Amino acid sequence: MEKSKDALVFSIKRFALHDGNGLRTTIFLKGCNLSCVWCHNPEGIELERKIQLSKKKCINCNRCVEIDTDNVIVQKEKYKEIINKIDVDYKKYIDVCPSGAIDYDSKYYTSEELLEIVLKDKVFFKHGGGVTLSGGEALLQLDFVIDFLKKCNENNINTALETALNISTDKLKKVLPYVNTLYCDLKEIDLDKHYRFTGVKNKLILKNIEYLLTSKFAENIIIRTPLIPNHTATKENISKISRYISDIYPQVKYELLNYNPLGISKYIDLGKKYPLKDNIPMFSKIEMEEFKDIARLNGITNLI
Amino acid sequence: MNTLILSERIENLKEKAIHADRYASIEQARIITNTYKKFPNEPRIIQRGLSLKAALEQLSISVDKDELIVGNRTVGIRDGVVFPESGSNWVNNEFETLPTRPQDKFKVKKEDIKEFRNDIYSFWNEKSMEDIINKRYGKRINEISKVVKINQKDHAQGHICPNTEMWLQKGPKKIKEEAIIKLKEASDETKDFYKAVIDVMDGTITFMNRYHDYIMNLIEEENISKDNDLYQVALNCKNISERAPETFHEAVQSVWFLFTILHMESNASSFSPGRMDKYLYPFYKKDIDNGILNNQKALEIIESFWIKCNEIVYLRNKHSAKFFAGFPIGFNVAIGGVDENGDAYENELSYLMLIAQEHLGLPQPNLSVRLHKNTSDKLPKKAIQVVSKGSGMPQFFNDEAIINPLINNLEIDEKDARDYAIVGCVELTTQGNNLGWSDAAMFNLNKALELTLNNGKCLLTGEKIGLDLGNLTTYDSFEDLEEAYKKQVSYFIDEMIKACEVVEQAHQECLPTPFLSTVIDNCIEKGIDVTAGGAKYNLSGIQMIQVANLADSFAVIKQLIYDEKKISKEEMLNALIDNYEGHDITKVMVENLVPKYGNDVKWVDELGAKWAEYFNDKLKSFTNYRGGKYHTGMYTVSAHVPMGENVGATPDGRLAKTPLADGGMSPVYGRDMEGPTAVLNSVSRLKCELTTNGGLLNMKFLPEFFSDEGIDKFSIMMRAFVDLEIPHIQFNVVRKSDLTEAQKYPEKYKGLTIRVAGYTAYFTELATELQNEIIARTSYGEI
């Protein structure tokens, strides 16, 4: 078994441009306690590591079939699948695959290992940027997160963390001293809609926002709303969120994230159905400006 | 500076330059041949001086009424010049195919072919430099050519940055007067040199005056009013024939004449204007202070000069055109950098030159920005903004990676090293005192590996061309293989040096360059031609091709064959012999299971760096024919395509005959999966001393990247680039779809320029293989 302070990571992206100031290395931690219908990282929702067989990489050489004593390889008409079983050691399947098609969807890292990866780009961060923890919900792996962020602080690496805030306030408090910028999603202000869209109610999230925006860390907080067509991207939602957060803290930083349809291909890879209409375009510059105006009209002075 | 516009005059000139037909011109060949016939017994340097003088006196000239800067070596705007002294045999063989060959097409006139064969080729056959080299060493050069491509076999070397600052201080008249004084005290050995200098300066003065007279005639004939700019242009030509230039406009005209005449004398690739923002600044400042110049006018003059730089193209043979595709004529202008004290340098002209590039987006001049730790934030940001417009320029050079190695490894004076400029594509040079011979040869490290893995035999033909040291199955350990590879490389280095010496000797005998020698320090003082070693610095540059593929191949061999033993030696060798046909599993293994160069994986990157270091070190034991040092560069021009055609399948999974990695330090396209920061970290593992002759790193970004925020983020990357001590980087900013459209509808994309390798060319003028390779390069910045 892996040590308790290991983190399960499903992706590491260097030269990330949209997850904080400057150039970032964004680390995506696996597992989420929301299930947004539009989720961009559906591969990061489940908390467990899974074995997978990439159809794109597989060349049908049958090497895995030849050693399949566990009955985990399934030959479909045109492609193969691999079955996740708890008691199977998949190492031999990974080793035998010549194309790297069989592999885990995520990997365990110690905080030292992750730090080493982050430090590779320190020469860039010196001029602007740092590390961003994202997910899934990064705070579900709280012990690791704190340990890792401390190490980043010691190495003068700027830190950012993205969270949906569906976590107890006490836990949230623990991480605050180590984060330079905390990106907090407030996707939907209406309780019922929030439940419909994400599978959870937003009571705890709102409580956390109130706490954060009245705390000494308020300046480090950026509230974000992803603009999902026919869901969160309504005048009502944006105006209410804006009013709500600016009433708590007039200087609150607020960011509206344009819809990004790139998530579709991930659903295809996972063999899942994309839950939104798949031909909705991003919002245009003009439409984005309209949303921003709504935010400004409702008390937002610090629009990112 | 934000209000400066692209004037209608400049737009007109640009349109004409883009749409001009290219012809092969024999006019100068005729003049040269007649001169040699008239003076058969004169020493070669006198013959060369007289030939240039005659050309300056006789070549047809023309002026466009929109031009602010005048002068060309042919009447046609983009004609290629047949130059029989250096090579006429290849012209004889290829004349008819010039209009239809795949790369660098030229139209030809039937009567020219006839005259060439009857009057010119008949005289030069077996006398041209090409013939002499062929006779002396052609067979051997050919035998080693798949590993070592020896350059400058049929043309002058070029790739030199004259002392333009001195030229502007003196002008042709003063230089002539100085040569007359020198001649009086000259020894017998140096007399002819000074005589030739006097001849070419006489020709230069005449040439300048001919433009004055031509324009005055034009003014008269067409009743052009006296306040038209043409009148000033005519006066400029006359003034600078008599004295040193005094105004900015005169100075720029004087610079253009210098470069036109350098091309007339040598017909070579690349004479570099160098640090134009620095040496033109006193003229600019004086005129601005005196109120006779404003920035709009200065910009128009610069843009006129920029367009002129696109009007001289270089006619190469078919083979050479593949290696140097799309006319990389190499008017390399370097801006920014540091001054003589090592402090960051920039001025208004630096920005005007960037704006000129932004306005025109033409392939020439090859605009380079020198960056330094203390360079302002403003300069790189403006430069990045220009890059985002898509012409692939400016390219960036890093003072932190360049100046110290020039001092420490090549024993160049600190003052000269700080004043470095660029010639050709990315080749480094000091200004005005160096015959760098930067393209002496290209060494195909991957072919050498192929021969080491296969008993010295070429995988493509079975022919034995290298040392038989065994094959992959006979090397017991990875170290044994490395030992054998060392021997193979070393053998071809020895062979290369011998060939380089033959070539240089022939240049000294056949192609002395008295005009060029006047603008290279120490030549006039010593009375020694630059080809004979008259310059202060005498270097020879060898390119190592390509470390990226080599690192990837060695990584595969080390990991899969020797360490993990996942592939047997026999299987790997057979896969290479069979070009991976029937070896699908082996192919996906080498592609997927081993990390590749460019992903910030230290052990892989170091496998490549190690061999570059070995090569560089080995060269140190040789001295070139002029008594100077050999050193190394890592850039390909476009040679990664034809050199790839010579290489069989490689252990990194590359198929036979396909291109090698582009650039010189770039990863193999499509194999860098970790993004730009990882690429830069990988590249930084190549020590700067490996690229004193120039290094090249290509990156491709999508236009969407360059929002205001994008430019800020890009600047961060460029600052880190400086810190990482990487010598060079350049960017293509283009969408793949635009390039594929341009392949389909070339006529619609005539003006589309693209960075090939250290130079920009019109995309539609490149051969299809090269176009495909550019399209295949990895793009960053997808949103």
Position A5 scores a pLDDT of 67
- The answer for B 65-104 residues in CB contact with A (under 8 A) is none
Q: Band the pLDDT of B758: cuts 50, 70, 90.
A: low
CATH code: domain of residue A225: 3.20.20.70
Query: What type of residue sits at position B518?
Result: T
Q: Tell whether A15 is within 8 A of chain B (Cβ).
A: yes
B375-382: average pLDDT: 96
- Preceding omega of A136 cis (within 30 degrees of 0): yes
Q: Band the pLDDT of B324: cuts 50, 70, 90.
A: confident
Contact A15 B589 (CB under 8 A): no
- pLDDT greater than 50 at residue B283: yes
Check residue B499 and report its DSSP letter: H
Nearest CA in chain A to B600: A120
Contact A14 B592 (CB under 8 A): no
Strands B537-538, B434-435: pairing is: parallel
Strands A23-29, A7-16: pairing is: antiparallel
Contact B588 A127 (CB under 8 A): no
Distance from CA of A159 to the nearest CA of B (A): 17
- pLDDT greater than 90 at residue B776: no
Residue A168 and residue A59 share a domain = no
Contact A99 B720 (CB under 8 A): no
Q: Lowest-pLDDT range, A283-297, B322-336, B741-755? A: B741-755
Q: Tell whether A124 is within 8 A of chain B (Cβ).
A: yes
Contact B724 A13 (CB under 8 A): no
- A-chain residues near B585 (CB < 8 A): 59, 61, 63, 98
pLDDT per residue as tens digits for the range B510-530: 999 999 999 999 999 999 999
What token pair was written down for B391?
């012409």
Closest alpha carbon to B52 in B261, B329, B270: B261
Q: Are A55 and A163 in contact (CB under 8 A)?
A: no
Q: Tell whether A108 is within 8 A of chain B (Cβ).
A: no
Q: What whole-number distance in Å separates Cα of residue A103 and Cα of residue A87?
A: 16
Q: Tell whether B676 is within 8 A of chain A (Cβ).
A: yes
Distance from CA of A208 to the nearest CA of B (A): 31
- pLDDT greater than 90 at residue B638: no
Examine residue A1 and state whether it is found in any structural domain, yes or no. Answer: no
pLDDT per residue as tens digits for the range B246-278: 999 999 999 999 999 999 999 998 999 999 999
| Residue that finishes a domain, picked among A69, A86, A104 | A104
- Residues spanned by the domain of A16: 7-47+106-303
Percentage, residues of chain B above pLDDT 70: 99
- pLDDT greater than 70 at residue B747: yes
Distance from CA of A10 to the nearest CA of B (A): 15
Contact B677 A126 (CB under 8 A): no
Enumerate residues 6+ apart whose C-beta is below 8 A from B310: B17, B78, B362, B363, B364
Burial of B556 (0-12, 13-18, 19+ CB in 10 A): buried
Percentage, residues of chain B above pLDDT 90: 83
B763 compared with A134, residue with greater pLDDT: A134
pLDDT per residue as tens digits for the range A26-38: 999 999 999 998 8
pLDDT per residue as tens digits for the range A184-196: 999 999 999 999 9
Q: Band the pLDDT of B673: cuts 50, 70, 90.
A: confident
Contact A124 B675 (CB under 8 A): no
CB half-sphere exposure, B582, CA atoms < 13 A: 7
Position A277 scores a pLDDT of 76
Residue A37 and residue A151 share a domain = yes
Residue B25 φ then ψ, to 5°: -105, 135
Examine residue A2 and state whether it is found in any structural domain, yes or no. Answer: no
Position A260 scores a pLDDT of 77
Contact A121 B589 (CB under 8 A): no
- The answer for B 724-743 residues in CB contact with A (under 8 A) is 724
- A-chain residues near B567 (CB < 8 A): none
- A-chain residues near B713 (CB < 8 A): 17, 22-23, 128
| Residue that finishes a domain, picked among A39, A71, A104 | A104
Contact B592 A98 (CB under 8 A): yes
- pLDDT greater than 80 at residue A261: no
pLDDT per residue as tens digits for the range A8-21: 999 999 998 888 89
Contact A59 B584 (CB under 8 A): yes
Contact A99 B588 (CB under 8 A): yes
| Residue that finishes a domain, picked among A71, A104, A137 | A104
Query: Which CA distances in Å does A155 have to A109, A113, A151, B298, B657?
Result: 18, 14, 6, 50, 48
Q: What whole-number distance in Å separates Cα of residue B756 and Cα of residue B666?
A: 12
Residue A194 and residue A88 share a domain = no
Q: Lowest-pLDDT range, A28-42, A197-211, B339-353, B393-407? A: A28-42
What token pair was written down for B514?
């008295």
Distance from CA of B375 to the nearest CA of A (A): 14
What token pair was written down for B282?
């006193």
Q: What does chain A come to in residues?
A: 304
On whether ipTM exceeds 0.90, the answer is yes
- A-chain residues near B717 (CB < 8 A): 23, 124
Q: Band the pLDDT of A4: cuts 50, 70, 90.
A: very low
Q: What whole-number distance in Å separates Cα of residue A221 and Cα of residue A237?
A: 20
B144-172: average pLDDT: 95
Q: Tell whether B702 is within 8 A of chain A (Cβ).
A: no
Alpha-carbon torsion (B682, B684, B685, B687), positive or negative = positive
Examine residue A113 and state whether it is found in any structural domain, yes or no. Answer: yes
B697-708: average pLDDT: 84
Closest alpha carbon to A64 in A103, A35, A38, A14: A103
Contact A15 B676 (CB under 8 A): yes
For the ranges B100-109, B366-375, B746-755, the maximum mean pLDDT occurs at B366-375
- Helix (H) or strand (E) run with residue A114 in it: helix A111-119
- pLDDT greater than 80 at residue A145: yes
Examine residue A215 and state whether it is found in any structural domain, yes or no. Answer: yes
Residue A251 and residue A149 share a domain = yes
- Preceding omega of B746 cis (within 30 degrees of 0): no
Query: Which CA distances in Å does A127 have to A152, B114, B715?
Result: 16, 64, 9
- B-chain residues near A22 (CB < 8 A): 713, 716
- pLDDT greater than 50 at residue B750: yes
Using CB atoms, which residue from B586, B593, B716 is nearest to A23?
Answer: B716
Buried b (16+ CB within 10 A) or exposed e, B358-381: bbbbbbbbbbbbbbbeebeeebbb
Residue A275 and residue A239 share a domain = yes
Position B18 scores a pLDDT of 84
- B-chain residues near A54 (CB < 8 A): none
Nearest CA in chain A to B725: A123
Query: What type of residue sits at position B661?
Result: A
Residue A193 and residue A77 share a domain = no
Q: Band the pLDDT of A262: cuts 50, 70, 90.
A: low
Contact B716 A129 (CB under 8 A): yes
Using CB atoms, which residue from B593, B723, B780 is nearest to A123?
Answer: B723
B342-348: average pLDDT: 98
Burial of B184 (0-12, 13-18, 19+ CB in 10 A): exposed
Strands B395-398, B540-545: pairing is: unpaired
Q: Tell whether B114 is within 8 A of chain A (Cβ).
A: no
Residue A208 and residue A65 share a domain = no
Examine residue A23 and state whether it is found in any structural domain, yes or no. Answer: yes
Closest alpha carbon to B477 in B577, B592, B609, B565: B565
Distance from CA of A161 to the nearest CA of B (A): 20
Burial of A15 (0-12, 13-18, 19+ CB in 10 A): buried
Q: Band the pLDDT of A1: cuts 50, 70, 90.
A: very low
Contact A127 B678 (CB under 8 A): no
Q: What whole-number distance in Å separates Cα of residue B379 and Cα of residue B354?
A: 9
CB half-sphere exposure, B434, CA atoms < 13 A: 31
Residue A130 and residue A99 share a domain = no
- pLDDT greater than 60 at residue B470: yes
Check residue A291 and report its DSSP letter: H
Using CB atoms, which residue from A13, A22, A57 is nearest to B713?
Answer: A22
CATH code: domain of residue A79: 3.30.70
- Helix (H) or strand (E) run with residue B41 in it: none
- B-chain residues near A99 (CB < 8 A): 588-589, 591-592
Position B748 scores a pLDDT of 74
Report the mean per-residue pLDDT for chain B.
94
Examine residue A288 and state whether it is found in any structural domain, yes or no. Answer: yes
- B-chain residues near A124 (CB < 8 A): 677, 716-717, 720
pLDDT per residue as tens digits for the range A96-125: 999 999 999 999 999 999 999 999 999 999
Using CB atoms, which residue from B592, B677, B723 is nearest to A15?
Answer: B677
Burial of B494 (0-12, 13-18, 19+ CB in 10 A): exposed
| Best A127, A131, A257, A282 residue to mutate vs chain B (most B CBs within 10 Å) | A127
Q: What does chain B come to in residues?
A: 783
Position B778 scores a pLDDT of 67
> For chain A, how many structural domains are there in total?
2
Residue A99 and residue A20 share a domain = no
Contact B723 A126 (CB under 8 A): yes
Closest alpha carbon to A237 in A294, A299, A283, A164: A294
- pLDDT greater than 90 at residue B437: yes
Residue A36 and residue A115 share a domain = yes
Position B491 scores a pLDDT of 98
Examine residue A244 and state whether it is found in any structural domain, yes or no. Answer: yes
Contact B592 A127 (CB under 8 A): no
Distance from CA of A63 to the nearest CA of B (A): 10
Q: Band the pLDDT of B771: cuts 50, 70, 90.
A: confident
- pLDDT greater than 70 at residue A3: no
- Strands of B433-477 (E only): list them: 434-435, 441-444
Position B702 scores a pLDDT of 81
Position B781 scores a pLDDT of 60
Contact B678 A61 (CB under 8 A): no
Contact B780 A121 (CB under 8 A): no
Residue A40 and residue A57 share a domain = no
Q: Tell whether B716 is within 8 A of chain A (Cβ).
A: yes
Contact A120 B681 (CB under 8 A): yes
Nearest CA in chain A to B585: A98
Q: Tell whether A266 is within 8 A of chain B (Cβ).
A: no
Q: How many CB pairs under 8 A join A and B?
A: 65
pLDDT per residue as tens digits for the range B216-238: 999 999 999 988 999 999 999 99
Contact A124 B589 (CB under 8 A): no
Alpha-carbon torsion (B308, B310, B315, B316), positive or negative = positive
- A-chain residues near B591 (CB < 8 A): 99
Examine residue A27 and state whether it is found in any structural domain, yes or no. Answer: yes
Q: Are A153 and A180 in contact (CB under 8 A)?
A: no
B326 compared with A20, residue with greater pLDDT: A20
pLDDT per residue as tens digits for the range B60-91: 999 999 999 999 999 988 899 999 999 888 99
Q: Tell whether A14 is within 8 A of chain B (Cβ).
A: yes
Closest alpha carbon to A301 in A258, A257, A256, A254: A254
- pLDDT greater than 70 at residue B783: no
Query: Which CA distances in Å does B359 have to A95, A148, A270, B8, B10?
Result: 56, 49, 48, 12, 9
Which of helix, strand or coil describes residue B329? coil
Residue A191 and residue A86 share a domain = no
Position A162 scores a pLDDT of 97
Distance from CA of A222 to the nearest CA of B (A): 18
Q: Band the pLDDT of B313: cuts 50, 70, 90.
A: confident
Residue B333 φ then ψ, to 5°: -110, 125
B132 compared with A40, residue with greater pLDDT: B132
Closest alpha carbon to A136 in A209, A49, A46: A46
